[in-house]
Structure 1
Amino acid sequence: MVYDRNGAFLTQIGARDAARIDYGYWPLREIPPRVALATLALEDRRFASHMGVDTRALLRAAWRNLVGRKRREGASTIAMQVARMQNPAPRSFAAKITEAATGIALVARHGHQAVLAHYLRLAPYGNGSHGIAHAARFYFDKPVEDLSLAEIALLAAVPQSPGRMNLFRESGLVLARARAARALAFLSREALVEPAQIALATQQLASLRPVGAARRPDALHLSLRYEALAREGLIAPASPHDPRIGATIDLSLQDKLAHLARRYLSLWRSAGARQVALMVVERGAGAVLADIGSSDYRDWRDGAIDFTRAPRSPGSTLKPFVYALAFERGALEPTDLVADVPEGASGVNNADGAFLGPMLPRQALANSRNVPATNLMRRVGLEANFQFLHDLGLHDLEAPAESFGLAMAIGALPTRLEHLMRAYGALAEDGVLSDLVFAKEQRRRRSVRVMSSDTARLVTSMLADPLARLPSFPRYGPLEYPFAVAVKTGTSQAYRDAWTIAYSRKAIVGVWIGRGDAGAMNRLSGAASSARLAHAALTLIHGAKAGEIETESFPPPQGRVPVEMCLAGGRSDGRCGETLVEWVRPQTAPPTRGAMELAARPVPRDETVELAVTTPEHKTHVWRNPELPPELNRLALRASAPGSVEQILWMVDGRPFRLADANEPVYWPMQPGTHRIQARLPLRPGASHIVEVTIE
């Protein structure tokens, strides 16, 4: 039996084969005396005096059946019932003879007490419950040793006819009470129990009913998940004598979030959304608090699909890991500029169809720009990114990385919500990847470090920066919270999937919106849909009230200091207008923008002229296509310059390459090796930063 973290019944897991699902068979350390007395009072009163077959009972049953009683009477002893339960067979005279012979053999070999104990492990108590220990938990949510005499008598009545005496039905409960009263009367008549206990049990029996603990909640996907975990050997009870599983799930929270998810989904059905999935993981422990696989398991179209485990296109939710790997490999620094421009974009466009030009990595990631992400993936390498995503548990594919290409960064590599939750857990937990925990008894893999704490905290600070999301995501929308939250949305091609992963100091929340048939929704993006549900869920978990703002933030990367950076690059000297705060190492803190321009140029700059190479990016890594003719293996060069500049002199490796109009793209025939590219003003001071490009 699986109970949630607060002790509420969640589900039970049976031994499963092709023919049936059996519940129960809980071992007994020893038989509680009152359980034995009540059971024998109803099933086999001369149990101790016969050797497995009660001859007197057989003769009495034969006579009564012969004289034509309407209801045929049996004479099966406890031993004979054990024989029948272990080897079910159609009721016949031959079967009865076999059961009698087997009963005698069982008692002769094992003794009366062992046979009685085995009966109490196997006996059917209705509704799939087998064994008195299981029935005690199933009906009264307590160990068998704690059952009252009235509860014992009621359960002892059921095995004779579990279908007729169904304790969850009023008619069955009435029949069971009547038979239980016969057991109490026998125990009283034979003075086997004190009269005061009999009186109390009789009084309690009149109103006794199951507590209903075993009523499965409306969480069928959860039940199937725990069954799968048990079948895979990932969860098992700590003791065979107490087969309970302590789930990490909070059913109260699960129920609230399920209603919340259905309410929000109803807002987007007109836009083609049909299903929703939501997961919540506790920070630090990795414990799954809520796991909602669909809006309703009974939805005839696709409700039975568990969308937390269904492979889908993740949209832009993998971008933080592209940046993380670039930081890990030293291919990117937070003070570098990345270019969001058409040239060099490999046919990749942004969701809004616009390009924002050169920007800091913080702004590029927070704005979820496609071009910088794909260029970073190209710079670090497809195979390296593919393997990193594998190490994060986001896929287990054996296909070559080239089959997905640069589109891996924007949704071409399918993954699952549960895998995203685990991978984002590594960002939230300082770079340490751990299994999601569904139960206290779960067998887990050892946690592994997949990125440095520095990288994890740096990426987290970028995802939690509301100023960095401008202009793509306006302030005070669903991505902004009254407490510190790192958030990333994703939208797959043709609006088939809308994602949001958000984490605070308390929890990680993951939301997916879409359709089971993978059909397109009507321009329903992650920011417009799933982000709103994630916001509502995380606000509920924090118990945040309107108007309240928490000042606590995520811990900054250790050893780094905050520096105000100009959006166009360089540390702010108070003259660059819009700025962002970036975390940099003191020894590598950039100079102010003006000082950097003077010191880094081999040619003096005219302070009134701003030149910048926008394509290619600094430290770009490019692979030539050997199948193309040499004249087509070329690299586009483009610079940004004020309107007063009419021409630009392009320099490659310190030598003039071409004089061109300022707004004219120039194409340089690529040559293997590392090259230095710079844009200069002809015949007067003024030059851009030098950009390094490696060609292979």
Structure 2
Amino acid sequence: MLLAGSCFGVVLLSVWLLLRFTPFPELQQFLQRPFSTLLVDRYGEPLRYLHPADGTRRIRTELQDLPAWVPAAVIAAEDRRFMLHYGIDGAAVLRAASQNIRGGGRVSGASTISMQLARLAAPHRGGLRGKAAEAWNAMRLEARYSKHELLQMYLNALPFGSGVEGIESASRRFFGVSAAGLSPEEAVLLAVIPRRPASLNPHSFPERAVRTALPSAAAAGVNADEQMLLAAIQAGQARAAGYHEPFEAPHLADRISRELTPAQRAAGGSLRTTLDLELQHRLEDLLYARLRAAGDSRIHNGAALVLDHHRGEVLAYVGSHDYFDDQNSGMIDAVRIRRQPGSTLKPFLYALALEAGFTAATILPDTPQAFGAEEAYIPQNFSRRFAGPVRLRTALSSSLNIPAVHTVVRLGVGAFADHLEDLGFSSVADQRDRVGAGIALGNVEVSLLELATAFSVFAGDGNLPEYRVLLPTDHTSGPALNQPAYPAHGISHPHYDAATVQIIRDILADQADRVLGFGADSVLNTSFPSIAKTGTANQFSNIWALAADPDYTVGVWMGNIHGETVIGRPGSSLPATVAMQLLQDIHETGRRFPPADAVHQVRISPISGMRYDPPGGGSIPELFPHGEYPPEDTWHSYPGGPIRYPPEYQDWVRDMGFRSAGGAADGRAATRVRIQSPNDGARFYRDPYISERHQSIGVVVTSDGQEPIQLYWNDSLAAEGHSPLRWQLPVIPGRHRITAVAGSVQDQIRLQVGASEP
């Protein structure tokens, strides 16, 4: 007897070990199926459900979050001895067999909750072999999980038809409430639907659903009669008709959905985004209002973005004016599509210039010039006027075009393209071989996301944040908006010297200096500390505004997704109004930009940009990095007298009818010759869409004497003439050396055309 008992125990243990530990790959795949994920804003307000790719509504719920009558109703409807058996209910099997024999066919079944769950995890074709496998798998489930765990799995897997799975999704679908809010009557009605989802739908067949649910109600301890259940159906149907899933920030939700990992999808639950739903609605309202105002200009779309550049978080994200506007491609995320940005790239150009040794007082030419080829590219300012010699500060604050092109030619198109890539403009990488000097005016296509992210560097200390859209949860640390990885909070990369940021920020905030380009009553003017930059491109079919205060950065684009021509000249004041009004709404009183502690003021001439402080006035303050001073002024012959403009401005002086002290002195030997453009070390790329014979690099040389200038290209004489001497260098790949000689003085630069040689 003892031996027999021992053998029986060994057999039971062996069976249990087989049930517990044999591989069950179908179960693992079942447990890893995707659930609906709820996106919420930073304060918990729902934004949108991200359902599985097949469209199934499968919202996870936890058993402990449900009222007791919900699981009781399911157990009563499907498996009343669920808590007593180990996967197979012998009594139910005998009962079903007896009923089926007496009825001459299938009258009832004996499937337990565990067996039904096993069939959902590992579907079969039926028959004796299928039922045997189902029973075996049910026992395997019982050996591996507690009753509580099995019941929770079952509640989340119940099929209710029409792409609805799980008790939570069904509660919303049929009664317009969360499962936690179900009444006892609603619970027993829901519990019977999975038996025959099509014919027990309480909305379509209320009487049939009630008749089926009544026996379960009594077993679940729910005291309800037919009229009470019918009333529950009627009230629930009214709520369900008014229930709509949240659908906020759809473009960002789409983006997050595409980037979720399988583990995150399987976890379901909710993900907390960085968005502020109230701010999201405010930004949408402002954008829509300006688009309506621009209706006569045939501008149909827009996008906008708000960033918190201290915390590295996206607070609002509007991808288009209307997600469901098919006529104007509303589903396309205009925050991320590439468009020519116009003048919005100029702050980055001049920041690079400052890092390369320019100053805010560096004089740049705003005079008629041709760049890149013989009469091939002749930029003009928006105002169609020329201001002559202008300081870098004025060129940026008034968004003058010609000084910008002059600057990029001096620095090198390749150097600026490299700089943009370093700032996060990844879209530039595959365009750099076909851009020229026009890159200074935004003829390279970038996204609003790239622009706003990079612009935020000027509102801080020179570090470029990585912006994220998800806040940390149990499942993720939050993906960065502009990176594929999932970085930790607060990551940023040093990008500019503090002095560079402080000077650019001061220029972009200078309301007085932007008068030349925007007038005295500009929409960019605010009563609080702010910086701003606007841009237009493609005959006004792309209009932009970037703005920031000490805490937030706003980017706005308006135009047409597919570039349809607009009517008239809709200016950048349209998006600028959105950006500045939004900043006005969220600016915190008393907040200031970081102190300008890396620069000092020097009195300069507003004309020459040189150090100048005569007793009678006429000078202005300018910012320079600590320890740096401009040279003493040489343009003023005497206070109040005519200006001695350099040779390169003599044509402009004559055209303007100004009185000038002249350029070089008659007969004086040159003491200085300078290659004004391009800069030493500049790099250029050929444009594959323009014939080579129509491409060239403009070279400008000046001297302070009357002697002729000889210009040598790789030791061969290329041109000769008086100051200012202009020549076009053929765009031939490789390294080039340019030498200018005037009498006994000379200047030399080196430049590269095409990629650097290994």
TM-score band, normalised by shorter chain:
0.7 to 0.9
**Is the CA contact 1:317–1:488 (under 8 Å) kept in the aligned structure 2?**
yes
**Is the CA contact 1:253–1:289 (under 8 Å) kept in the aligned structure 2?**
yes
The Cα shift of 1:577 comes to 8.2
Match 2:294 to one of 241, 256, 268: 268
The Cα shift of 1:412 comes to 1.9
The Cα shift of 1:558 comes to 2.1
Match of 1:643 in 2: none
Match 1:106 to one of 129, 133, 137: 137
Deviation sequence 1:51-86 (CA, Å, 0-9, x none): 167335645875898799xxx976643234324433
Q: Which amino acid aligns with 2:645?
A: A
Match of 1:248 in 2: 274
Q: Please state whether the residue corresponding to 2:584 is helix, strand or coil.
A: helix
Q: Please state whether the residue corresponding to 1:227 is helix, strand or coil.
A: helix
Match 2:218 to one of 177, 182, 185: 185
Q: Please state whether the residue corresponding to 1:494 is helix, strand or coil.
A: coil
Match of 1:507 in 2: 552
**Is the CA contact 1:502–1:534 (under 8 Å) kept in the aligned structure 2?**
yes
The Cα shift of 1:126 comes to 6.5
TM-score of the two chains, using structure 2 as the length reference = 0.70
User: Partners in 1 of 2:616 and 2:454 — Cα distance?
Assistant: 37
Which is worse superposed, 300-309 or 337-346?
337-346
Which is worse superposed, 401-410 or 520-529?
520-529
The Cα shift of 1:376 comes to 1.8
Structure 1, unaligned stretches of length 5 or more? 190-194, 196-200, 544-549, 640-646, 679-689
User: Partners in 1 of 2:172 and 2:685 — Cα distance?
Assistant: 70
Match of 1:298 in 2: 324
Determine if the alignment matches structure 1 residue 467 to structure 2 residue 512: yes
The Cα shift of 1:521 comes to 1.8
Change in CA separation of 1:479 and 1:621 when aligned onto 2, cut-off 3 Å: same
Q: Which amino acid aligns with 1:318?
A: L
Change in CA separation of 1:242 and 1:220 when aligned onto 2, cut-off 3 Å: closer
Match 1:11 to one of 39, 48, 54: 48
User: Partners in 2 of 1:669 and 1:7 — Cα distance?
Assistant: 62
Match of 2:625 in 1: 585
**Is the CA contact 1:618–1:691 (under 8 Å) kept in the aligned structure 2?**
no
Determine if the alignment matches structure 1 residue 453 to structure 2 residue 490: no
Match 1:481 to one of 526, 544, 547: 526
Match 2:421 to one of 379, 390, 396: 390
**Is the CA contact 1:79–1:115 (under 8 Å) kept in the aligned structure 2?**
yes
* 1:340-379 alignment runs, 5 A limit: 340-343=366-369, 345-346=371-372, 347-349=377-379, 350-379=381-410
Match of 1:612 in 2: 645
Match of 2:58 in 1: 24
- Identity %, equivalent residues: 26
Which is worse superposed, 59-68 or 259-268?
59-68
Q: Please state whether the residue corresponding to 1:468 is helix, strand or coil.
A: coil
Deviation sequence 1:238-263 (CA, Å, 0-9, x none): xx767320011122222232232222
The Cα shift of 1:447 comes to 2.6
Match of 2:251 in 1: 221
The Cα shift of 1:147 comes to 8.1
Match 2:679 to one of 621, 625, 629: 621
Deviation sequence 1:336-390 (CA, Å, 0-9, x none): 1111122364434123332221111111011112222222222222222112111
**Is the CA contact 1:3–1:247 (under 8 Å) kept in the aligned structure 2?**
yes
**Is the CA contact 1:500–1:526 (under 8 Å) kept in the aligned structure 2?**
no
Q: Please state whether the residue corresponding to 1:588 is helix, strand or coil.
A: coil
User: Partners in 1 of 2:345 and 2:684 — Cα distance?
Assistant: 27
Q: Please state whether the residue corresponding to 1:512 is helix, strand or coil.
A: strand
The Cα shift of 1:483 comes to 1.6
Match of 1:79 in 2: 114
User: Partners in 2 of 1:150 and 1:414 — Cα distance?
Assistant: 60
**Is the CA contact 2:210–2:230 (under 8 Å) kept in the aligned structure 1?**
no
Match 1:381 to one of 403, 412, 437: 412
Change in CA separation of 1:668 and 1:507 when aligned onto 2, cut-off 3 Å: closer
Match of 1:436 in 2: 467
**Is the CA contact 1:467–1:580 (under 8 Å) kept in the aligned structure 2?**
no
Change in CA separation of 1:97 and 1:110 when aligned onto 2, cut-off 3 Å: same
Q: Which amino acid aligns with 2:220?
A: L
Change in CA separation of 1:658 and 1:11 when aligned onto 2, cut-off 3 Å: closer
Match of 2:76 in 1: 41
Match of 2:8 in 1: none
Deviation sequence 1:393-424 (CA, Å, 0-9, x none): 21245447342111222122111111212212
Deviation sequence 1:173-204 (CA, Å, 0-9, x none): 99989877765532338xxxxx9xxxxx9999
TM-align CA RMSD? 4.7
Match of 1:683 in 2: none
The Cα shift of 1:596 comes to 2.5
Q: Please state whether the residue corresponding to 1:612 is helix, strand or coil.
A: coil
User: Partners in 2 of 1:251 and 1:31 — Cα distance?
Assistant: 26
Q: Please state whether the residue corresponding to 1:478 is helix, strand or coil.
A: coil
User: Partners in 2 of 1:31 and 1:252 — Cα distance?
Assistant: 28
User: Partners in 2 of 1:589 and 1:620 — Cα distance?
Assistant: 24
User: Partners in 2 of 1:448 and 1:421 — Cα distance?
Assistant: 16
Match of 1:404 in 2: 435
The Cα shift of 1:212 comes to 8.1
The Cα shift of 1:7 comes to 1.3
User: Partners in 1 of 2:287 and 2:56 — Cα distance?
Assistant: 34
Q: Please state whether the residue corresponding to 2:369 is helix, strand or coil.
A: coil
* 1:121-140 alignment runs, 5 A limit: 121-124=156-159, 128=163, 130-132=165-167
* 1:407-422 alignment runs, 5 A limit: 407-422=438-453
User: Partners in 1 of 2:290 and 2:76 — Cα distance?
Assistant: 57
Match 1:95 to one of 126, 129, 151: 126
Change in CA separation of 1:124 and 1:460 when aligned onto 2, cut-off 3 Å: farther
Which is worse superposed, 341-350 or 416-425?
341-350
Change in CA separation of 1:575 and 1:101 when aligned onto 2, cut-off 3 Å: farther
Deviation sequence 1:514-573 (CA, Å, 0-9, x none): 112212223445523211222233233338xxxxxx675423432312345443123563
Match 1:318 to one of 329, 345, 353: 345
User: Partners in 1 of 2:468 and 2:507 — Cα distance?
Assistant: 27
Change in CA separation of 1:122 and 1:354 when aligned onto 2, cut-off 3 Å: same
**Is the CA contact 2:529–2:549 (under 8 Å) kept in the aligned structure 1?**
yes
Q: Which amino acid aligns with 1:482?
A: S
User: Partners in 2 of 1:172 and 1:455 — Cα distance?
Assistant: 72
Q: Which amino acid aligns with 1:291?
A: Y
Change in CA separation of 1:123 and 1:507 when aligned onto 2, cut-off 3 Å: same
**Is the CA contact 2:119–2:134 (under 8 Å) kept in the aligned structure 1?**
no
Match of 1:682 in 2: none
Q: Please state whether the residue corresponding to 2:74 is helix, strand or coil.
A: helix
User: Partners in 1 of 2:211 and 2:40 — Cα distance?
Assistant: 32
Q: Which amino acid aligns with 2:337?
A: A
Change in CA separation of 1:309 and 1:658 when aligned onto 2, cut-off 3 Å: closer
Structure 2, unaligned stretches of length 5 or more? 1-37, 224-228, 473-477, 480-485, 650-673, 687-691, 711-718, 730-735, 752-758
User: Partners in 2 of 1:136 and 1:267 — Cα distance?
Assistant: 43
Q: Please state whether the residue corresponding to 1:467 is helix, strand or coil.
A: coil
Match of 1:198 in 2: none
User: Partners in 1 of 2:587 and 2:499 — Cα distance?
Assistant: 27
Deviation sequence 1:608-628 (CA, Å, 0-9, x none): 331222468867517799999
**Is the CA contact 1:276–1:294 (under 8 Å) kept in the aligned structure 2?**
yes
Which is worse superposed, 488-497 or 101-110?
101-110
User: Partners in 2 of 1:134 and 1:341 — Cα distance?
Assistant: 68
User: Partners in 2 of 1:581 and 1:211 — Cα distance?
Assistant: 67
Match of 2:561 in 1: 516
User: Partners in 2 of 1:300 and 1:541 — Cα distance?
Assistant: 32
Match of 1:538 in 2: 583
Change in CA separation of 1:345 and 1:284 when aligned onto 2, cut-off 3 Å: same
